[in-house]
Amino acid sequence: NLDNTILYAASPGAPIWRVPVTGGEPVAATRFEAEQRGHFSPHFLPDQRHFLFFVTGPPDTRGVHVGQLGDTSSRRLVDADGSAVFSPASGHLLFVRAGKLLAQAFDAGRLELSGNPLVIDEHVTAGTALTASVAGPFAYHEPPPVGGQRQLTWVNRKGEELQKVVYADTMALGPALSHDGRRIA
């Protein structure tokens, strides 16, 4: 974040950890509640103090949670099948549930969702990786299909496909958009 704090998930069954960019001893940023099995994929919100993360566990526990630096408690925001990202440009939380990529209005100041989720894609899986740039574009990709190739698809805000890129399955992690939304790693 802007205060030079790194959040990371070390392993299944462990909390989200925080550490200064200068190094030092990691400190737990989250704690496990009843029936939670794993904390994954931390993602800072614009205030740089709150963060989203995914919790695995039974259906009434799993989902996207919000935490805060300096407080290991958290609150469940929404049932989801994987991690989520916040798109500051559109004000939406992007997440996957029941095979659909959804976008739901999210007030990052009040940490509250509103309205009904909008369906972005109806054919995704729980392993879909998401990223959103501050400038507005977002990207997602599916886990690799059998055959060893992946595909990134650029889509505009109207849901119209702009470009597809097919490449060999060598990517270990999900895509990451640049802040201006023009490049992807």
Segment 71-96, tens digit of pLDDT: 999 999 999 999 999 999 899 999 99
CA–CA distance, 120 with 159 (Å, rounded to integer): 7
Least confident of 64-68, 101-105, 139-143, 148-152: 148-152
User: What average pLDDT does the segment 155-170 reach?
Assistant: 73
Which of 84, 16, 88 lies closest to 48, judged by CA? 88
Least confident of 27-36, 56-65, 68-77, 155-164: 155-164
Can you read off the two tokens belonging to residue 72?
A: 């290991």
High-pLDDT (> 90) share of the chain, %: 55
What does pTM read for this prediction? 0.79
Q: What is the pLDDT of residue 148?
A: 64
Q: What mean pLDDT is predicted for residues 61-75?
A: 95
Q: Are 24 and 6 in contact (CB under 8 A)?
A: no
